[in-house]
Structure 1
């Protein structure tokens, strides 16, 4: 697997007109794998939008290596980079603590209608994440909700808004295999639209 990133050219008016909803980001990601398109292979690519030092980045986790030229089409020239993620996965240890970041789409099934509905309050969003942690092989030691947004998504003739919530904090690995699956497969719904990518950084002793 590969972890890649590129700085988004958000000072370019043309680029920002193109990236005016989550579906546009999804298309950008998909177009960065021309070999998969040529072979009619649709693999899941986890991604999210991050801000670091006042710059926006597209962060991408994929089974195959992306075409960096394609990845830079809506990014800042010279900023696309990729590295092996498998080497990082091999170094993860049970019982070890990590700083984490996750942008997710907290939802629940309405008991009356059966519809999937977004969690609205911070308290419900926090409980959603705590439940997901139990199923994903890690224990949360502490965490905060650092951002909450409604993001536009165009699907054919419909226009939707998805709830996007970013969590940050410290976790401890309890079940190594479950945890690795959460890292490579993501957490929660709407993974095609920038949700679910969990990233971690080891806490140095």
Structure 2
């Protein structure tokens, strides 16, 4: 895998009207971050751009992390925030089996409802998971992504619901996981970082961030 994505860290301007709008409306936030990627990407522009994002909020600030193959923060609304671009190539190059890492990810753990046999021709609803079920879901998905989790600390976030007349009606329940892990499959992990994990990617889920674990 030779084409490594970029990561933009955008410190949002709390006085900006578009920032206020986007923090209230996940659909608008998705539209805003998509402004940073090239036009004419076909029917699935987010997928083609490899765009993933995560909102990180504290009591005093909001920071938007955006990952994609190509990013131009100058296309954001004027005054929207201060952006710094990072090349993720060194992180991908450092991945190796046995590497100890710290991770952070926001996820939308979910499963499809099982229907009775007399309704097997229909598809069940997507049901959000919480508590121990959500933790087990992340453990399984992490293993598939080449990570052996040692610590997983969940933080429940405010759910998001797509806005607009044509938006799907499903609410996305979001959980942030922080912890430590060991890399078991560098190739699978690189794929997971590139593609994101789970559902809800247009609404701020799926972006996996890694950093070396402290050796002290």
TM bucket (normalised to shorter chain) is 0.7 to 0.9
Partner of 1:179: 189
**Which of the numbers 143, 146, 150 marks the counterpart of 1:141?**
150
**Which of the numbers 139, 150, 156 marks the counterpart of 1:130?**
139
How far did 1:52 drift?
5.4
Say whether residues 1:63 and 2:72 are aligned partners: no
* Number of residue pairs matched by the alignment: 198
Q: Following the alignment from structure 1 to structure 2, what is the Cα–Cα distance between the partners of residues 169 and 4?
A: 22
Q: Any stretches of 5+ residues in structure 2 without a counterpart?
A: 116-122
CA RMSD of aligned residues (A): 2.0
**Which of the numbers 2, 14, 19 marks the counterpart of 2:6?**
2
How far did 1:60 drift?
0.7
The SS at the match of 1:149 is coil
- Alignment TM-score, normalising by the size of structure 1: 0.88
CA contact (8 A) 2:96 2:185 kept: no
- Alignment TM-score, normalising by the size of structure 2: 0.83
Map 1:30-179 onto structure 2 (within 5 A): 30-33=34-37, 36-37=38-39, 39-41=40-42, 42=45, 43-51=49-57, 54-64=60-70, 66-71=71-76, 73=78, 75-76=80-81, 79-112=82-115, 114-119=124-129, 121-158=130-167, 160-179=170-189
Q: Any stretches of 5+ residues in structure 1 without a counterpart?
A: none
The SS at the match of 1:59 is strand
Higher strand share: 1
